[in-house]
Chains A and B, each alone.
Chain A
């Protein structure tokens, strides 16, 4: 096991940690056996959730697809398999993940541990809704199969449990049958927040919906957004050129960010200009279009290593969910605070959530807002204020994005956190599994 400097996707914070990439279950047991361990998938969580307190266990060697039933779409795979691999293998056969986060470079284990949500949360729920069972390596080194029907407590606490209930070895999930690799997209510009929220309500029936929001707009334009709706295109709806091979979409060209950008590149002016440009382009493209799956679900994946554009200091993401009744007021407060601080975020996403689930799973009915910022002193101070606004409006925070929150904020936002902590203590999970995040947040 070697010492290495590691971080999450935001490259903030960085920690020296003991990292192992075991081959096989016996080696994994040995690597995790010393306690204070946490699994690491593909490191796409932004902060310090996949940095072990004593040992970080990389799951990349547990990446085998174990079984697939082509009548039901049920897939059994090891936890280190990437969603991108699942898509590569099964989309050409007419299957796609039911739920996918905004990057396909996450592992099955990571998506389960964060109970990831996609653009369809409002109608189809989170990743966990399509997990049939998981095999979890526990504190005593034994493996338990947990499902909604058996060992259901372990199942619920593991979905969204951020690796703190044990190491997921493998899982059975269900895939969605699709006729094509294309999405019929509809882009609806909304001139301000009220228009955006109204548009979300009107679009409740859409399978996929999410809005890019200009977080530097203020006054009458506060919250102006481009709402994007999507449906899996039926083969019959495709133009003739695509209809011949409906499950094949052209490969996108990949770009790669090789160097850390100088910090000066991302400042108020460039971000503002970018946002304004994006808005104007969106207006021009408003209406219906046919987009390939990769561009629709994973626009950012086209630029490999884009996290480097924030430079060496790294960046942080803020993501909260506000309950429906206080969502409007909360969003106005969050956006006004951000806009006033002039700390614009390149990527600001607004999305509606539907019903949540148990455990520590993040989503609940309402609206979620995600913003990112360079990890500067000023931005970190702003994030503390955004935390406070979220708390005032009864919201809660997404642990997969968090890198810096205070334990008190988490525990005030979510009474489940204390129950989770008590459960961990009772089961001896607190000494066996711990991350930099769980220590910071007293989980």
Chain B
């Protein structure tokens, strides 16, 4: 008899990437929990996942911006989930973020503050147990701020740095922290954008990359390896040159 697989909490469970991840983990035998706003609307997805894979699937109400409720959320249950995957994010509209501080703050809080706080809380519990896995879905947009989306990018950069620090801190305490940078993904977030096909992953591809990274204990994952190169080049462009580009 195999040991039962650890449960997976998916924060942002309604997103295309989050749902695809739920399917991938459930197919591999993990029970999954989908955390999202208006969780009751995920009932059919939970039913679908349990019918398909025979793994447990439930939905739970979650708002990453409800800061004061986060400790209670992360503290629920006798033990923390074995794996926590955070795919919460908000692209926002760059121009709106430039004009309206409230809109910018929402992008910053949804991509950085909220995800960092909730994963920090889970990390504490996992560290106390001496095991657990945390996956943060960040973005290549955080690798260098660009005119077209630097508010979102800056928040993702903050999240990437947070995950890096968390990984560094917990490496010797049995807790694995994984940063996933998907590159372009064809999801609701990017609907209607004209994305280059060769650089655009399907949500299922991101989900497989996440599962693979958890099983292999990876640290930083670029879903399509070509992105690691693209971003390396973008990062080393001298500022004098970079500031004149429109990428």
Residues on A lying within 8 angstroms of B by beta carbon are: 1-2, 21, 23, 64-68, 85, 89
Contact = CB atoms under 8 A, between A and B. Distances in A.
A67 B51 CA distance: 7
Interface string B182-219: 00000010011010000000000000000000000000
Contacts of A66: 44, 47-48, 51
Contacts of B48: 64-66
Interface residues of B, number: 10
Contacts of B51: 65-68, 89
Nearest to B41: A24
Contacts of A89: 51-52
B124 interface: no
Given A89-B51, A89-B52, A64 B44 contact: yes
Nearest to B46: A64
Most buried by B among A21, A64, A67: A64
B63 interface: no
A64 B192 contact: no
Contacts of B45: 64
B52 A2 contact: no
Contacts of A21: 191
Contacts of A65: 47-48, 51-52
Contact of B192 (A1, A68, A85): A1
Nearest to A63: B48
A67 B48 CA distance: 8
A95 to B, nearest CB: 12
A67 B47 contact: yes
Nearest to B27: A88
Given A23-B188, A89-B52, A2 B44 contact: no
Given A65-B52, A89-B52, A2 B47 contact: no
A192 B194 CA distance: 54
Interface string B45-59: 101100110000000
A21 B194 CA distance: 15
19 contacts: A1-B192, A2-B191, A2-B192, A2-B194, A21-B191, A23-B188, A64-B44, A64-B45, A64-B48, A65-B47, A65-B48, A65-B51, A65-B52, A66-B44, A67-B47, A67-B51, A68-B51, A89-B51, A89-B52
Most buried by A among B48, B188, B192: B48
Contacts of B52: 65, 85, 89
Interface in B34-70: 44-45, 47-48, 51-52
Nearest to A75: B51
A223 B32 CA distance: 56
Nearest to B53: A89
A149 B48 CA distance: 28
B11 to A, nearest CB: 19
Nearest to A170: B44
A143 to B, nearest CB: 15
A67 B47 CA distance: 8
A401 to B, nearest CB: 28
A433 B45 CA distance: 29
A64 B46 CA distance: 9
Interface in B8-22: none
B58 to A, nearest CB: 16
A21 B192 CA distance: 10
Contacts of A85: 52
B21 to A, nearest CB: 16
B48 to A, nearest CB: 4
B223 to A, nearest CB: 20
Contacts of B192: 1-2
A172 B48 CA distance: 15
Given A66-B44, A67-B47, 11 more contacts: A2-B192, A23-B188, A64-B44, A64-B45, A65-B48, A66-B47, A66-B51, A68-B51, A85-B52, A89-B51, A89-B52
The 5 closest A-B pairs by CB, nearest first: A64-B48, A65-B51, A65-B48, A89-B52, A64-B44
Most buried by A among B45, B51, B188, B194: B51
Nearest to A21: B191
A1 B193 CA distance: 10
Contacts of A64: 44-45, 47-48
B49 to A, nearest CB: 9
